Amino acid sequence: MSSLELRNRDRAIEELRIFLKKICVEPGIIEHSLAITRELIDEDNADAIIAQRISNTTNVKIPDEHSDADRLFLQVLREVVRDEKAMY
């Protein structure tokens, strides 16, 4: 693994660590984020819209240019919502 890959991995891990701390302080973030995702998952440019709504309504701030950690969080939200839909 190159030093650039290691730095990118370490940066993503640090971003996820900070995010997990926010969830521990405000556990309602996850349910709120899932509700937003349920509402907007089928929109054009859904990731950008979901990220903006989450940023506007929680202490999680997702910039317009998503980092690897931001993309991972949005991907997990979509997967959870899709799994819920598949169950019903």
pLDDT at 28: 93
Give the pTM.
Answer: 0.84
d(CA 52, CA 1): 34
Which stretches of the chain are DSSP H helices? 3-25, 28-40, 46-57, 68-87
pLDDT at 19: 85
Highest-pLDDT range among 11-15, 43-47, 83-87: 43-47
Number of domains in the chain: 1
Write out pLDDT tens, residues 54-81: 999 998 899 999 988 899 899 999 999 9
Cβ–Cβ contacts within 10 Å for residue 12, how many? Answer: 16
Domain range enclosing 72: 3-87
| Amino acid (one-letter) located at 41 | I
- Radius of gyration of the chain measured on its C-alpha atoms: 14
Mean pLDDT of the residues in the chain: 92
pLDDT band at 15 (very low <50, low <70, confident <90, very high): confident
